[in-house]
Amino acid sequence: MAILKIAKMGHPALRAPSAEVADPTAPEIRRLIDDMLETMIDADGAGLAAPQVHVPLQVVMFHVPEGRDEDVLDVVPLTVLINPVVEPLTDERSVDWEGCLSVPGMMGAVPRYTEIRYRAMTPGGERIERIAEGFHARVVQHECDHLDGFLYPQRMEDLSLLMFSDQLRYHGEGDDKDAADVDE
C-alpha cells in the first residue's frame, strides 16, 4: 500500500472524464483501491475519487461516520463504487457546506439533490444499488462528480459562499458553522 499524491484544483486530471473499469476484480484495481483507502485515511477524508490521485478510472470510495448527518441517522460503512451511476429521485435540492481534498483549505455551499439512487459494481464484482439521502446522498454526488471532471465550485450557484475554512469557522452562519464537509 502507498499514500498517493492528491491532485489540486487546476490539475488537468481533475477536469477529464474517467473511463469505465473493464474488470472490477482485476489485481491492479484492488491495488488502486488499497492505495486510495490509505490515502483517504491519511488525509482524514470522508471520500476520495480515483481522478484525485491522477488515475482516470471510475472508482470512488466514501463513508458516512456516526454523527456526520444530524437530519438522517445514516451511518454508512466504507463503500467502494466502481462504474457508478447516480440518478436523482427528486427535483428537491438542499444547500450545505462541502470541502474537497483537491481544494484544500476552502469550503463552499453547494446545492445537491436530497435523494438519489445509485448503482455500481463492488470490488468483488457484485452489483450494488442503494437509495441515499442527506449527507450520504451529498457525498456520493460529490465523489461521482469527480468522475465527470467536476469540482464542487462548479456546482455552486452563489460563489460568495466559497470561503477559506477558517473564515467560515469564525464568521460562518449559525448552525452551518459545523456543517458537513465532504472530503476534508
Residues lying near Ni ion in the complex (CB under 5 A) = 100, 183
| H or E element at residue 142 | helix 134-147
Mark whether 143 is an active-site residue.
Answer: yes
Q: Which single residue brings its beta carbon nearest to Ni ion?
A: 100
Compute the distance between CA of residue 68 and CA of residue 29 in angstroms, rounded to an integer: 29
Least separation in angstroms between CB 125 and Ni ion: 26
Least separation in angstroms between CB 175 and Ni ion: 23
* CB nearer Ni ion, residue 69 or residue 143: 143
Least separation in angstroms between CB 17 and Ni ion: 16
Among candidate residues 118, 110, 180, the one with its CA nearest the CA of residue 147: 118
Least separation in angstroms between CB 145 and Ni ion: 8
* CB nearer Ni ion, residue 29 or residue 40: 40
Q: Which of 98, 133, 143, 184 is catalytic?
A: 143
Q: Which three cell numbers stand for residue 30?
A: 484492488
Strand extents, DSSP E, the chain: 47-49, 59-64, 76-88, 93-100, 103-113, 115-121, 127-133, 162-164
* CB nearer Ni ion, residue 6 or residue 21: 6
Compute the distance between CA of residue 154 and CA of residue 55 in angstroms, rounded to an integer: 21
Compute the distance between CA of residue 16 and CA of residue 148 in angstroms, rounded to an integer: 7
* CB nearer Ni ion, residue 96 or residue 183: 183
DSSP 3-state of 160: helix
Catalytic residue ranges: 143
